[in-house]
Chains A and B, each alone.
Chain A
Amino acid sequence: MYVTLRDRPGSDTPGRTVGRRVSSTVLLLGTVSLLTDVSSEMVASVLPLYLTAVVGLSPVAYGFLDGIYQGVSALVRIAGGYAGDRGGRPKWVAVVGYGASALSRIAMLPAQGFAAITAVITTDRLGKGLRTAPRDALIAASSDPAMLGRAFGVHRALDTFGAALGPLVAFALLAAVPGSYDSVFLVSFAFALVGVAVLVLFVPNLPTAVGAARLGVRRMVAEVTGARLRRPLLAAGLLGLVTVGDGFLYLTLQDRDDFAALYFPLLFVGTNVAYLLLAVPMGRLADRVGRARVMVAGHGALLACYLLAAAPGGGLGLTVSVLLLLGVFYAATDGVLPALVAKLVPAGARGSGIAAAQTMVVLSRFVSSVAFGLLWSVAGSATAVLVFAGALTAGIPIAWWLLRRVDAEPAVDVPAAATPDGRADGES
C-alpha cells in the first residue's frame, strides 16, 4: 500500500536503492523538516524585531521570552520519545508535534499581549520537543543500520537548508509589505501546513516495535539506563559539560573583532552553511570509520575552535576559521549522536533512547552555559574560553575511553535482511 515501504531495509526488491542511497522516508522526513524550518526560522528571525519594535517589550521581558524559546523543548523531548515508543507509532506523535508548531504560527496573528505571545511561543517549542525524538526514531527505523550516519546527515542537511532559507523568505516578505508581520506569520503557517501534509500523507507509519511487546515505563527506563546505553549517555553528558554554547563563542569573537561585531548575524549563517555542506560527508565518514570516533573527533574541532577564539588579536581569517570549525563540530555530532544511539537500543525503545541522549546533551550544555557565564564575568572571555579548552582537552580522552567499544558493538533488533549481509545482497 505504501510505495515507500519498498525502500525499507528488509522489504521487497532490495536491488534499487538499498545500500546506495538513503531511504525515501528519510528524504520525506527531511522535506518535512525543511518546510517546517523555513517556517520556524522565518518567525525566529523577525521575532526580536517584532517583539521590541511592534509589541514593545523591554530587555527583561524579551529575555524571558528568549529563555522560553530556547529552553522549553528540552523538557518534553523525553515525553515525545516515550510516547512514540509506547504507542509503537512514532509518526503520529511527530504529527502532533509538527501540528502544534504549525498552529502556533497562525495564533501569532491575534496574539498581542505578553501572556498571549508567551503561550504561543511555548506551544511552538513544546511541538518541537515532542516531535524530535519520534522523528529520529522513524529515520532509524527506515534506514539500513550500516548507513544511519549518512541517513541522519541527509536529514540534518535538508533541515539546515530550510533554516537558512527561512530568514531570506521573511525579509523578502518584509521588503515587499513593509511592517506587515502578519504576512510573515501567515506565510510561515503556509510552509508549516505543507510540511505537515507531506508528513501525514507520505511518511509511512512505521511501527518501531516490530513484533515486540510494547514496553512499559519500567522496561523503558531499564533499557535507557541499561549497560549498553550507560556509557554513551555518560560520554554525551561529559562532552556537553565542556561545550561552550556557540552564542558565547560569537560574543567572544565580536569582543575582539570589528567584522564579527558589525556582522554578528552573519556568524550564525556562516556556521549553518558549514554545517549544511558537511552534514552528509560527516555522516558517511561516521558510517565508515565509526560514529563514536567521528563524534569524539568533532569535539577536537571544537577544541581548535576555542583556541582560535581565545587567541589575542584576530581578524577576518580567524573568525571564518572558527565558524568553519564550529560547522565541522555540529556536522560531526548533531546527526551522528542519534545514529550512534539508535544502534544500541531495541527498536521498541529507540525514541526514548535517542531522546535520553539528546536531553542529556541539552541539560549538560545548560549547566556548562551557566558555569561559562559565571567564569566569563569573573575572569573575562579569553580566560573563560581557555579554561573550557583545558576541560575539553581532559574530557575528550575520557569520552573516547567511555565510547571505545561502541562502534564495534553489534546492533540490536535488526531485521535479518538489513544486516550488512543483506546489504551486500542488495548491491550484487
Chain B
Amino acid sequence: MGLRARLIVLVAVVLLSAFGAGGYVWQVRQSQAQVQAAASPVPVRDDPAAVRAAPHLMFRSTALGTGYGKVAMTPLSDPDGPRVLTDASCERVYATRAQTICLSAERGLLTVYRAQLLDAGFAPKLDLPLTGIPSRARLSRDGTLAATTSFVSGDSYANPGEFSTRTVISRTGGEVIGDIEEFPFYVDGRLVTAIDKNLWGVTFADDDRFYATAASGGRTWLVEGSIAAGRVDALREDAECPSLSPDRTRVVFKKRGDLPPGRWRLAVYDLATGTETLLAETRSVDDQVEWLDDGQVVYGLPRIADNGAATSDVWRVPADGSGAPQVLVHDAWSPVVVR
C-alpha cells in the first residue's frame, strides 16, 4: 500500500471512530434528555419538616433526571410515595434523627471523595476521615459514633492484588478513634497477624460494641469488637457487611456459601442460639442491609432501566426466611430507616 492509500485508510478509521463513538454518546445524551423530559419525574413533596417528624426512610434517589444522586426521604407510612429531595448529594447515606453521614464523590478532573456529617438541616458540620472510594457508612444509635469504609488501592503494575479497605471509627464530636484494622483480631482466641487482613462494614451495638466483617486469605468472618477493649473477635465464618436488628438479637449479612466469587446470599444469624436462616431473596445482594423493623430487612439492588441507564431500587424481604422480596421504594439506593 502506498503512502496515500494508507493515509486514506487512517482518515477513514479516524472518521469512523469519531463519528461512531461521538454518535453513540450523542444518542445516549438525547435519550437521557428524553427520559428526563418525558418520563414521569418521581413525584416530589415539599414538606421536609413533616417527614422528618415521623419515622421515615432516607435514601439516595436514583430516579433519572432532577434529583439524581440527592438524598431523599419518604415517610415509613408511604415509602414509595412522593419523596422529599434534599440538597445533599451522597453515594452512601446513613442517619439518625439529629444527623446524617454522607459519603460523596466530587467527580471532576480528579474525583475526590468525602465523608461528612450533616446536621438536621443537611448542612455539613464535620469532615470525617475517608480515603478512596466510598463503600459503607454507619452511625451508632445514640449518634455518638460514626464508621466509614472506603476502598483504598495502591496503583502499581508491580503489585498484584494490592488492595485494601480502610474502616475508620470516629466520635461525632470530632475525635478520630482510628482504623479498626489496627485492633488485634482473634479467631478462636488466636491472634491473626496475616498481612492481607481487612475489616469493613461496621454496625454498632451501643456506644462501644460493634459488629463488622474481617477478611484474610480469601475467608471472611463476622466479628464482634469493642472500642474500649480495642480488639475484635470472630463469631462465625463466611459473613460480610453485617447489620444488627433493632432488638439487637440478630445480625443480617451477606454470605458466599458455595456461590461463585462476586455473588452473595442474604442470611440472618441469631446471636443467642447461633442458628442461621437463609432469606427468600435469591438474587445476589451486595449492600449493607438495613432493618425495616424487627421482622423485615431492606437493601438496594441495581437495575438497568429501559433506556439502558443504571439505576436501582430498594427491596424488602422478611427476616425469617419466609415470603418473597418486594420493591419498597423505586429508584432508590442506600436505604436507612430513621425511627
Contacts and interface: CB of A to CB of B under 8 A. Distances in A.
Contacts of A114: 260-263
Given A64-B261, A246-B154, A369-B162, 4 more contacts: A179-B310, A201-B1, A265-B110, A374-B195
A58 B254 contact: yes
Nearest to B92: A53
Given A49-B111, A187-B25, A54 B132 contact: no
Range, interface on chain A: 35 or more
Most B CB atoms within 10 A — which of A57, A201, A250? A201
A38 interface: no
Secondary structure at the A interface, as helix, strand, loop or mixed, is helix
A168 interface: yes
Contact of B21 (A168, A187, A361): A187
Contacts of B112: 262-263, 265
A5 to B, nearest CB: 12
Contacts of B25: 173, 176-177, 180, 183, 186-187
A56 B302 contact: yes
Interface of A: 1, 3, 48-49, 52-64, 66-68, 70-71, 73-74, 113-115, 167-168, 171, 173-183, 186-187, 189-191, 193-194, 197-198, 201-202, 240, 243, 245-248, 250-251, 254, 261-266, 268-269, 361-362, 365-366, 369-370, 373-374, 376-378
B158 A362 contact: yes
Contacts of A113: 262
B107 A182 contact: no
Nearest to A128: B157
B154 A248 contact: yes
Given A59-B151, A264-B132, A373-B195, A247 B110 contact: no
B29 interface: yes
B10 A201 contact: yes
Contacts of A262: 112, 114
B32 A201 contact: no
A67 B161 contact: yes
B109 interface: yes
A58 B286 contact: yes
Contact of B10 (A168, A197, A245): A197
28 contacts: A3-B3, A52-B151, A56-B287, A59-B151, A66-B153, A67-B161, A70-B158, A73-B157, A114-B261, A114-B263, A115-B260, A168-B109, A171-B109, A177-B25, A177-B28, A180-B25, A180-B308, A180-B309, A182-B28, A187-B21, A190-B18, A198-B10, A243-B158, A245-B158, A250-B154, A366-B159, A369-B159, A370-B195
